[in-house]
Amino acid sequence: MRIGLISDTHSEWHPAIAEALAGVNIILHAGDIGDLSVLQRLETTAPVYAVRGNCDHRYELTHLPRSRIVEITPHLRIGLVHGDQYPLDELEETLVRCFQDQNVHAVVFGHTHRPLHTLIGPIVVVNPGAVHCYSRQALPTVAILETLGHGLSVVFCPLS
The CATH number linked to 50 is 3.60.21.10
Instruction: Please name every residue paired with 96 in a beta bridge, in sequence order, or none if there are none.
Output: none
Number of helices (H) and strands (E) in the chain: give both, helices first.
Answer: 3, 10
Question: Mean pLDDT throughout 93-109?
Answer: 95
- The answer to whether residues 59 and 83 touch, using CB atoms and an 8 Å cutoff, is no
- The answer to whether residues 110 and 120 touch, using CB atoms and an 8 Å cutoff, is no
Residue 133: pLDDT band with limits 50, 70, 90: confident
Helix H segments across 13-138? 17-20, 36-42, 91-99
**Domain of residue 12, residue span:** 2-158
Q: Number of folded domains in the chain? A: 1
User: Mean pLDDT in the chain?
Assistant: 94
